Chain A
Amino acid sequence: MIDAIIHALPHVFAPANLLAITIGSVAGLVVGALPGLTVTTGIAILIPLTFGLDPLFALGMMAGMYNAGSYGGAIPAILMRVPGTPASVATILDGYEMTKRGEAAYALQVAVVSGVIGSVLSAIALILFAPPLVKVSLLFGPAEYFWLAMLGLATISALLGDDLVKGIAASAIGLLIGTVGQDLTSGTERFTFGSLELMDGFSIVVLLTGLFALPPVFQMAEEAIKEGMSASLLRFKKQRSVMREWRYFLPVWLRSSAIGIFIGVMPGAAGSMSSFLAYNEAKRVAHSPETFGQGNPEGVAASEAGNGADNAAALIPALSLGIPGSGVAAVILGGLLVHGLRPGPQLFRDHPDIVYGFMLQMLLSAFLLFAVGGLAATRIFGQVLRLPRIVLAPLIVLFVAIGVYAVNNAMFDLYVLMGVGVVAYVLEKLDYPQAPVVLGLILGPMAESQLRLSLTISQGDPSALVASWVSIILALLTAIVLVTPLYRSWREKRQRKPAAA
C-alpha cells in the first residue's frame, strides 16, 4: 500500500491534476451552494465533460466537487435558510440563527473548518480501510460476485428513500436498461430494434446526466424564482476566529467525524443521515442542549463535520466491493466505469496508481477546501447566489448538452438525454430513488454474467449459488436487508394499534 501511495504521489501533485482538483472544488462550491443542484448533479454534469481526459484529471475534479459541494450546501443554509443540499438541513437549525444575530461570517467559518476536518479524517479512513476490504473480495468467485451485486442492489433499494417497493422497481428499471445491447455471451442483440447506436447499450454517461442533471432544471423552471439572494446578506464584517477556539470545537469535530465515517461506510446510509445523527449527538452530550437551535456554533460544527466525514468513507465499500455508500458514490462509481475502471480488487491490482491517486486527491481536496472554501471564496461564490435560478436553469442545459454530445459525437445521445430527463423528473417527483437505477445499470451486466458463469461451471445446478460460506452469508444478508424495512413497518403498525385503542 505504501509503495502504491508513493508511486501515486507525483501523479497527484502534477500541475494539471492540482488544477483539476481546484476547478472541481470551485465548481463544487457553486453547485453545493445553489439550491436545487446537488453534488450528485454536479458530478453527473462533470462525467461527460471529463470523458476522454486523463483518469486522474477527471477523478481530481470529482474529488474536489464531492468535498467542496458537500460544504457548499452550508452557504445558502446559513445565509438564506435554504439547504443547498439535503445534508445541510441540520446546519440551518443553528446556522441561520447565527446569521440573524449578525454572525454569518463566523457561522460560515465554523462550517468550512468543520467540513474540512470531517473530510480529512474521512479521506484518511478511506486510505486505511479500503485496501484491507479488497483482500476479502479476493475470496470471491462468480456466485459470490452475483450475490454481492444482489446485496448492493438490495441495500441501495431498501435504504435509500422510504419505499422498498419503489426502490426495487428503480433497481429493476436500471437492470433492464443494462440488458439493452448485444449479449456478450450469446451474441444476441437485445432490445436494440435494429439500431446501431444501441448495439453497445445505452451510454452510462448519457443516462447518469439525464437522471440527475435534468430534473433540477425542470424544477427550477417550474418554481420560476426571479430573485437571487439579497446583497445585504452577502456583506461580511470581520468576526471571531474558529482556529483560535479549536479546543472548544475539538470534541465536537472528533465525535461528529467518527459518526460520519461510520454512517458513510454503511452502504446506502450516507448523506443527510450522518449530519443529523452528529447534530443530535452533539446536542445530547452538550452542557446546555437548550441553546441548540438558538444559534449555537457547536450545532453548525457537528452537522458540517458529520456531513464532511461521510464523503470519502462512502467510497470505501464503493471502491473495494463495488457497493456505493451513497447516491453520490454510486455516480462516482459510474464515473470510474466511464474511464474504464471497474471497482473491486482488480482496480487495486491493475490500476494502483489511479485508485491510490484518487484517494490522495480526496485528502488533498479536503485540505484545499480551506483555501477555496475560506471566507474570501465564500464571499465571491456567494455572489453566484444572487443569480436568479430561473436564469440558471437553461445555463445548466447548455453545459449538459455539449458534454453529452461530446461523448460519442452523436445527436442520438441528446435525444436519449431528453427522454431520460423527463422520466427521471417523474421518478423523482413520485419518490422513486434514482441511485438504484444507476446501480442496476452498473451491476446488472456483472450480475447476469456472473450468474450465467456460475451456472455454466456447475452444469446448470442452482445449488452452486449457495455452495460456499461467503455466498450463503451474502445471500442471507441480502434477505435480511430486504426483510428489515418490512419488519420495521409491521412493528410500527403493531405499536400504533394499541396506541389508537
Chain B
Amino acid sequence: MAVTAGPSRRTVEFVFAAALIAVAGAVFVLSADYPAESAAFPRVLAVLLALCAVLVAARQLRHRDEAGAQPFFLHLPRFLITLVALVAYVVAIDVTGYLLPSFALAVALPFVLGYRRLALTVPLAVGTLVLIVLVFNVALERPMPPDVLMHLWESVR
C-alpha cells in the first residue's frame, strides 16, 4: 500500500499551498519592475492567491481529519509511468514527428500498465492514426508536426 500510495492528501495540500504562495510571491516581486498601472492588478491577485493558500494550509493544520490522511494518488507508480510517458511523447514529437511517437504511446502505455492484448491495441492505434491523418491532414488540411513518415506519405501521394 505504502509503495503504491505515495504522499497523503494533507501533504500534497501543504505542498500545493506552499507552491501557490511561492508563485504569488514571485508575481508580487516581478511586478515591481512594471509601471504602477500594469502592476496593480497582478499584485492584488497575488495577495488574494497567497491569502487563500495560507487559509487552505491553516485549515489542514486545524482539522486533522481522516480524509487528509488518505493517500493522494490512487496508484503512484502508474501515475509516474503515465507522466514520464507523456513527457517523453511530447519530446519525441519534437524530434521525430507525430506519427511514430503516437503509435508507440497508444501501444506501449497500456502494455506497461498491464494490458498485454496487442491484438487489440495495435490495430486500434493504427486505425486511430489513420483516422486522425485523414480527418486532419486530408479533409481539414490542418498542419501536423513534421514527420519522417509524412515525408514518405507525401512522396507516395
Contact = CB atoms under 8 A, between A and B. Distances in A.
Contacts, number: 156
B90 A418 contact: yes
B41 interface: yes
A190 B42 CA distance: 9
A185 interface: yes
Interface residues of A, number: 53
A224 B113 contact: yes
Contact of B27 (A176, A188, A223, A414): A176
B139 to A, nearest CB: 11
A114 B127 CA distance: 35
A398 B143 contact: no
A217 interface: yes
A398 B79 contact: no
Nearest to A176: B45
A224 to B, nearest CB: 5
A430 B121 contact: no
Contacts of B27: 176, 191
B110 A398 contact: no
Given A185-B38, A398-B128, A429-B72, A169 B53 contact: yes
Contact of B86 (A175, A390, A397): A397
B86 A418 contact: yes
A169 B105 contact: no
A185 B136 contact: no
Contacts of B142: 52, 402, 406
Nearest to B79: A222
Main secondary structure on A side of the interface with B = helix
B60 to A, nearest CB: 11
Interface string B95-111: 00010001001100110
B134 interface: no
Contact of B38 (A186, A415, A426): A186
A7 interface: no
Contacts of B129: 398
Contacts of A224: 75, 78, 113-115
A165 B106 contact: no
B79 A218 contact: yes
A448 interface: yes
A451 interface: yes
A183 B38 contact: yes
B105 A398 contact: yes
Interface in B46-65: 46, 48-49, 52-53, 55-56, 59
Given A221-B81, A398-B128, A430-B9, A168 B48 contact: yes
A488 to B, nearest CB: 17
A226 B87 CA distance: 24
B144 interface: yes
A183 B33 CA distance: 14
Nearest to B140: A53
Given A176-B45, A176-B46, A399-B132, A221 B38 contact: no
Given A395-B106, A398-B102, A448 B41 contact: yes
A440 to B, nearest CB: 9
A208 to B, nearest CB: 18
Contact of A402 (B56, B98, B105, B125): B98
A72 B148 CA distance: 39
Most chain B Cβ neighbours within 10 Å, of A191, A397, A426: A397
A405 B97 CA distance: 11
Contacts of A388: 110, 115
Contacts of A448: 41
A173 B82 CA distance: 25
Contacts of B73: 222
Contacts of A169: 20, 49, 52-53, 56
Given A166-B56, A183-B38, A409 B13 contact: no
A6 B90 CA distance: 47
Contacts of B121: 391
A436 to B, nearest CB: 11
Contacts of A395: 106, 124-125, 128
A141 interface: no
Interface of B: 9, 12-13, 16, 20, 23, 27, 30-31, 34-35, 37-38, 41-42, 45-46, 48-49, 52-53, 55-56, 59, 72-75, 78-79, 81-83, 85-87, 89-90, 93-94, 98, 102, 105-106, 109-110, 113-115, 120-121, 124-125, 128-129, 132, 136, 140, 142-145
29 contacts: A52-B142, A169-B49, A172-B52, A176-B46, A188-B35, A191-B27, A221-B78, A222-B75, A222-B79, A223-B74, A224-B75, A224-B78, A224-B115, A390-B115, A391-B110, A391-B124, A395-B106, A397-B89, A398-B129, A399-B132, A401-B89, A402-B142, A406-B142, A411-B94, A414-B93, A418-B90, A426-B16, A430-B9, A451-B41
Lowest 3 CB-CB distances: which A-B pairs, in order?
Answer: A169-B52, A221-B82, A172-B49
Interface of A: 52-53, 165-166, 168-169, 172-173, 175-176, 179, 183, 185-186, 188, 190-191, 217-219, 221-224, 226, 387-388, 390-391, 393-395, 397-399, 401-402, 405-406, 409, 411, 414-415, 417-418, 421-422, 426, 429-430, 448, 451-452
